[in-house]
A and B are shown apart, each in its own frame.
Chain A
Amino acid sequence: MKIISFANQKGGVGKTTSAITLAAGLALGGVRTLLVDLDPQGHVAFSFGLDKSPGLYRLICLNEPLHQTTINVRPNLDLLPSDKNTEKVKRQITISDFRETILADRLQSSSYDVILMDMAPSLDVLHVNGLMASHWVIIPTRLDALAVDGVREILLTMGEITKRGYRFQGYNILPTFFDRTTRETLTQIQSVVQTFGKRVWPPIPQDTRVREATAYGKTLWEFSPNSPAMAGYQDGTKQIGGYKQALQRLMEVIDG
């Protein structure tokens, strides 16, 4: 089993959309996937057309078994949802022993092939728990200075966790909201590529259909499978970027 988190301390960079779309893609490919929402906003359930619910709270604070706290949202895809009760989880973790590995301990015995975690844009005890449970971290980022600074922040946090003896297998940067018509995009992607090299995945194009899909409670695979956000840009005979290509890269990570 591989646990992969989607993290960036900057909000609004596409963490939730990326986690949902890639989780749904894995599930469609027959991979038994659990999607964990670590954000008290509970937007993952909302994006699947469901009400928010306190799955994470019941798992950590009420000690219910994992299978009782998850919801099956699509074939091969379960969701551990969040809502405002997730704030209480943070307080519970803070007063617990071995507090940094509570989430990892609870997820360890599950029978999923892959667990994807959508992290909140914060740096608190739940965030650290999520990172400590992760083998791999995907860092979605807009190509603007503030979001790229969020990448630096998350890498610093990962560095601190590594100092405590935890070893991540790796991480990737996923550029999102990519608009190839602006000069700022080119400047920022050149800078990101110069710093992170091969860790930078092909970008996800800016696409209004992403917002529409959320409003209808559908995944992009269901709502608009050939939209630019899914299929990427046409470059000659090739497609560059988009979630379908990101899914290929994710499968390479999962297959090791």
Chain B
Amino acid sequence: MADKNLERRQILDPSVADLLNGLEERQKEAHLPRREREKKARERAKIKARREQRTTYDLPPAIRQHIKQMGEEQHLPASQLVTLALFRFLQQIEAGQIDLSQYKQPSHSPRYDWNLVFPEDWYKKI
């Protein structure tokens, strides 16, 4: 049986591989009918326009689930609910209504000095 720890060798520079994939995809597109080419171009423009708005954070799964559920109940996009929550959070921070220091614990990470540790019951309430 093959050793599961074996890693496939990288035979191309990763950036060159990305570039080649993109170029090959575009060449395939060039052979599509005009309507499909236009559709692809629109999709690309849409993705490009949204690029600035996208980000990735690690969140507790319970919060993610709760936001998703709320979005479905209210018939609203989850992104807009999160945007509302963050606006309110920033306003409260600005007004001095939230004190981060009460949640701060020293971090062992070389990258950060602190972690925010939240009360256990917050997770239960969600």
- Chain A positions within 8 Å of B27 at CB level: 183, 186
Proximity bits, B15-44, A CB within 8 Å = 1, else 0: 110111011100100000000000000000
Does B13 have its Cβ within 8 Å of any Cβ on chain A? yes
Contact B19 A241 (CB under 8 A): yes
- Chain B positions within 8 Å of A249 at CB level: 13
- Chain B positions within 8 Å of A183 at CB level: 27
Does A180 have its Cβ within 8 Å of any Cβ on chain B? yes
Contact B51 A235 (CB under 8 A): no
Contact A233 B19 (CB under 8 A): yes
Q: How many residues of chain A are within 8 Å of chain B by beta carbon? A: 22
Q: How extensive is the interface on chain B, given as a class?
A: 10 to 19
- Chain B positions within 8 Å of A237 at CB level: 51
State whether A203 and B12 are in contact (beta carbons under 8 Å apart), knowing that A183-B27, A186-B24, A186-B27 are contacts in the complex.
Answer: no
Contact B13 A202 (CB under 8 A): yes
Q: Report the bound CA distance from A249 to B23 in whole Å.
A: 22
Does A197 have its Cβ within 8 Å of any Cβ on chain B? yes
- Chain B positions within 8 Å of A145 at CB level: none
State whether A190 and B20 are in contact (beta carbons under 8 Å apart), knowing that A183-B27, A236-B51, A237-B51 are contacts in the complex.
Answer: yes
State whether A200 and B13 are in contact (beta carbons under 8 Å apart), knowing that A186-B27, A189-B23, A237-B51 are contacts in the complex.
Answer: yes
Determine which of B11, B15, B24 lies in contact with A240 in the assembled complex, contact meaning CB atoms within 8 Å: B15
Does A101 have its Cβ within 8 Å of any Cβ on chain B? no
Contact B12 A245 (CB under 8 A): no
Q: Report the bound CA distance from A5 to B26 in whole Å.
A: 35
Does A164 have its Cβ within 8 Å of any Cβ on chain B? no
Contact A241 B15 (CB under 8 A): yes
- Chain B positions within 8 Å of A186 at CB level: 23-24, 27
Give the Cβ gap from B31 to chain A, nearest Cβ, in Å. 11
Proximity bits, B78-90, A CB within 8 Å = 1, else 0: 0000000000000
Which residues of A190-239 are within 8 A (CB) of B?
190, 193, 197-198, 200-203, 233, 235-238
Contact B51 A240 (CB under 8 A): no
Does B101 have its Cβ within 8 Å of any Cβ on chain A? no
Contact B20 A240 (CB under 8 A): no
Does B109 have its Cβ within 8 Å of any Cβ on chain A? no
Give the Cβ gap from A152 to chain B, nearest Cβ, in Å. 19
Give the Cβ gap from B45 to chain A, nearest Cβ, in Å. 14
Contact A189 B51 (CB under 8 A): no
Does B10 have its Cβ within 8 Å of any Cβ on chain A? yes
Q: Report the bound CA distance from A121 to B11 in whole Å.
A: 30
Contact B22 A235 (CB under 8 A): yes
Q: Report the bound CA distance from A49 to B11 in whole Å.
A: 41
- Chain A positions within 8 Å of B23 at CB level: 180, 185-186, 189
- Chain A positions within 8 Å of B18 at CB level: 235, 238, 240
Contact A193 B10 (CB under 8 A): no
**Which 7 A-B pairs rank lowest in CB-CB distance, beginning with the nearest?**
A202-B15, A240-B15, A186-B23, A197-B11, A240-B19, A200-B16, A202-B16
Q: Can you list 13 A-B pairs with a CB-CB distance of less than 8 A?
A: A186-B23, A189-B16, A193-B20, A197-B11, A198-B13, A200-B12, A235-B18, A235-B19, A235-B22, A238-B15, A238-B18, A241-B19, A249-B13
